[in-house]
Amino acid sequence: MPDTSAPRLLGPAEVRELAARLDLRPTKQRGQNFVIDPNTVRRIVRESGVVEGEVVLEVGPGLGSLTLALLEVGAEVTAVEVDPVLAGELPTTIQAFAPGQAERFRVVLADALAVTEIPGPPPHALVANLPYNVSVPVLLHLMALLPSLKHGLVMVQAEVADRLAAPPGSKTYGVPSAKAAWYADVRRAGAIGRNVFWPAPNVDSGLVAWTHRPPPTDQVGREAVFAVIDAAFAHRRKALRGALRELAGSADASEAALRAAGIDPLTRGEALGIDQFVAIAVALQETSEAAR
């Protein structure tokens, strides 16, 4: 008869024991800071809103701390891990700490930034402790790749969490905020201290929750809108008339498109929301077509 008992979670002793057995030396290059506090991973899962039976994509599972907490609530977990040693050990850890849930777990050895598909059933949620150095590119890549994702919660560097969830006009608003808004409604969901990690990072962490929403337009593609966002923030202190000059072909064409979109050409990119960036992209497309 299969063991259906609840998973045991990893604490400081278990994490260090696993690391010692694997001769693991966490590297800054891969952003390896492992959570050693069961209450923290339970909190992440609780804040994520994941429910029993949901298919969850986890990026960078490491030694399995968060994975076990996801299995504890009855989720089915697909974990993407770039480190072959960690990926190879995860099934053994899951079998040892959650034998009754092992059939609901699979690991994929891959770089999350480079994956083009995720095997198994389409994931509904993304829950992850993302490596600090690639957190925004990974999040945006997976949001674009997997339309099946409906919600998620990621733990990232506190400063990155502020930028992802920042509203237009705030000091931390920028490219990550604007691009994330194409895919989802994003909000800050709390802070995480340094002492729940081994090794302890030099920065605080933050939780970012998001809920999928349909693309804000079907008149132009995401790439065209993102090109406008990139140009608008390439020179933060420039008015949009000048910042979009190269993209539009000239300052006059930039101004014409901005006026057609109902935006003052002297406005800066940091003042605009995703719908206004969409309006500019549409206007640029229309003025380009009219000029042919």
Is 242 annotated in a binding site? The answer is: no
Note whether 118 and 78 are within 8 A (CB).
yes
Task: For the chain of 292 residues, list the mean pLDDT of each consecutive stretch of 10.
Answer: 72 94 73 87 97 97 97 98 96 97 97 96 96 91 97 96 96 96 97 92 94 95 97 91 95 96 96 98 85 59
Rounded CA gap, 261 and 208, in Å?
31
Note whether 234 and 216 are within 8 A (CB).
no
For residue 4, what are its two tokens? 């259906």
Provide the total of helices (H) and of strands (E) in the chain, helices listed first.
Answer: 12, 9
Cα–Cα distances (Å) from 142 to 36, 115, 150, 288, in that order, read 26, 9, 12, 31
Note whether 252 and 274 are within 8 A (CB).
no
> What is the predicted pLDDT for the residue at 237?
81
- The torsion angles phi and psi of 49, rounded to 5 degrees, stand at 80, 10
For 206-237, write each residue's pLDDT tens digit: 999 999 999 999 999 999 999 999 999 998 78
> What is the predicted pLDDT for the residue at 29?
52
Alpha-carbon 148 to chain mean position = 15
The Cβ of residue 119 has, within 10 Å, a number of other Cβ atoms equal to 9
pTM value surpassing 0.95 = no
For residue 67, what are its two tokens? 């994975």
Cα–Cα distances (Å) from 252 to 167, 232, 240, in that order, read 29, 16, 12
Q: Return the SS3 of 65.
A: helix
Domains and CATH numbers, the chain: 12-212 (3.40.50.150), 222-291 (1.10.8.100)
> What is the predicted pLDDT for the residue at 3?
47
Is 33 annotated in a binding site? The answer is: yes
Among candidates 48, 15, 45, which has minimal Cα distance to 32? 15
Q: Return the SS3 of 30.
A: coil
Q: Return the SS3 of 203.
A: coil
Is 81 annotated in a binding site? The answer is: yes
Among candidates 187, 136, 181, 183, which has minimal Cα distance to 165? 187
Angle at Cα 87 formed by Cα 43 and Cα 52, nearest 5°?
40
